[in-house]
């Protein structure tokens, strides 16, 4: 959980600063990685294009319970077109940032401000990429931790379901998935203090790529990160990641006009 502090503190600072759009989106603050626009492949997703949504919700307790919601909603079009919205909601405060990248060119927008034609070295862009969970990450929904989890869960019993318009197998993952949750920056401290950790994984029937991941638990102790975020323990948390419209030929990314 401690590894999540930097991203969440930044999220809170943004939200308290105001601004942003009122358009609701669902989806997370997760791992920090240096994006490589030249990197080939998209982790565990053997898809040419798709939509993804990832969200992190922290719900405090007490008479004046405080909630933090952080989300990323994005589109990927192979080989190197990206567009995503990063949204933070804390109490009544809301902040939104957007980024579009096409053929190496980058556009960035904060709140209702104008689009800026910039690059990946821009400090605002770098800060955003440090906290948003996007397909720009080399190990987006992949990497060795996920590969180990997938190898383990494929041996578990499952039920077939239709999720995000995709036929998928639903697995209830046990302790063998803790390493992957730690890689999503929940961290060992937060997992040790989770009194009811559980998570589920849906893998596509065709290709075994992740269609949905959902994890939840309760932090029963008053961690430093919760104090920083003014969240009173026990705090309920939930992570959810969805992938939809796999290889939909109608998905396209348009470049915005810089202000």
Orientation of helix 5-16 relative to helix 123-131, angle to 10°: 120
Burial classification of residue 206, based on how many CB atoms lie within 10 Å of its CB (0-12 exposed, 13-18 middle, 19 or more buried): exposed
Name the DSSP letter for residue 132.
Answer: B
101-144: pLDDT as tens digits: 998 899 999 999 999 999 999 999 999 998 888 998 877 887 77
**Sheet of strand 198-204, all strands in order from the earlier edge strand to the far edge:** 116-118, 105-110, 93-102, 81-90, 67-77, 49-59, 235-244, 210-219, 198-204, 166-173, 159-163
Mode of pairing for the β-strands spanning 159-163 and 166-173: antiparallel
**pLDDT at residue 223, as a whole number:** 65
State pTM to two decimals.
0.76
Instruction: Specify the 3-state DSSP secondary structure of 8.
Output: helix
How is residue 79 written in tokens?
A: 């080989």
Rg over CA atoms, the chain? 18
**pLDDT at residue 257, as a whole number:** 72
Distance (Å) of CA 101 to CA 24, 80, 108, 123, 249:
22, 8, 9, 16, 19
Q: Is the pLDDT of residue 207 over 90?
A: no
Instruction: Specify the 3-state DSSP secondary structure of 98.
Output: strand
Once rounded to an integer, what is the mean pLDDT over residues 27-46? Answer: 40
**pLDDT at residue 199, as a whole number:** 80
Across the chain, mean pLDDT equals 74
What's the CA gap between 61 and 236, in Å, rounded?
8
142-187: pLDDT as tens digits: 777 777 777 778 877 899 999 999 999 998 876 555 555 554 444 4
Q: Is the pLDDT of residue 191 over 50?
A: no
70-110: pLDDT as tens digits: 899 999 999 889 999 999 887 777 889 999 999 889 999 99
């Amino acid at each position: 959980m401690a590894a999540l502090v930097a991203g969440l503190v930044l999220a809170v600072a943004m939200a308290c600063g105001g601004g942003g759009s009122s358009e609701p989106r669902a989806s997370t603050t997760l791992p920090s990685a240096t994006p490589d626009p030249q990197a080939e492949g998209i982790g565990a997703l053997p898809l040419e294009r798709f939509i993804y949504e990832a969200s992190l919700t922290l719900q405090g307790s007490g008479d004046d319970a405080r909630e933090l919601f952080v989300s990323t909603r994005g589109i990927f079009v192979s080989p190197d077109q990206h567009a995503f919205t990063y949204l933070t909601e804390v109490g009544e405060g809301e902040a939104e940032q957007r980024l579009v990248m096409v053929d190496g060119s980058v556009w960035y927008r904060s709140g209702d401000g104008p689009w800026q034609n910039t690059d990946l070295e821009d400090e605002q862009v770098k800060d955003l990429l440090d906290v948003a969970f996007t397909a720009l990450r080399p190990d987006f929904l992949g990497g060795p931790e996920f590969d180990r989890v997938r190898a383990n869960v494929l041996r578990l019993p499952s039920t077939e379901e239709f999720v995000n318009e995709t036929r998928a197998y639903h697995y209830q993952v046990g302790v063998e998935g803790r390493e992957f949750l730690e890689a999503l920056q929940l961290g060992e401290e937060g997992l040790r203090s989770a009194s009811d950790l559980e998570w589920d994984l849906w893998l596509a029937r065709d290709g075994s790529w992740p269609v949905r991941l959902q994890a939840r638990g309760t932090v029963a102790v008053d961690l430093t990160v919760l104090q920083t975020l003014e969240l009173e323990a026990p705090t309920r948390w939930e992570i959810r990641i969805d992938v939809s419209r796999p290889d939909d030929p109608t998905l396209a990314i348009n470049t915005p006009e810089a202000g």
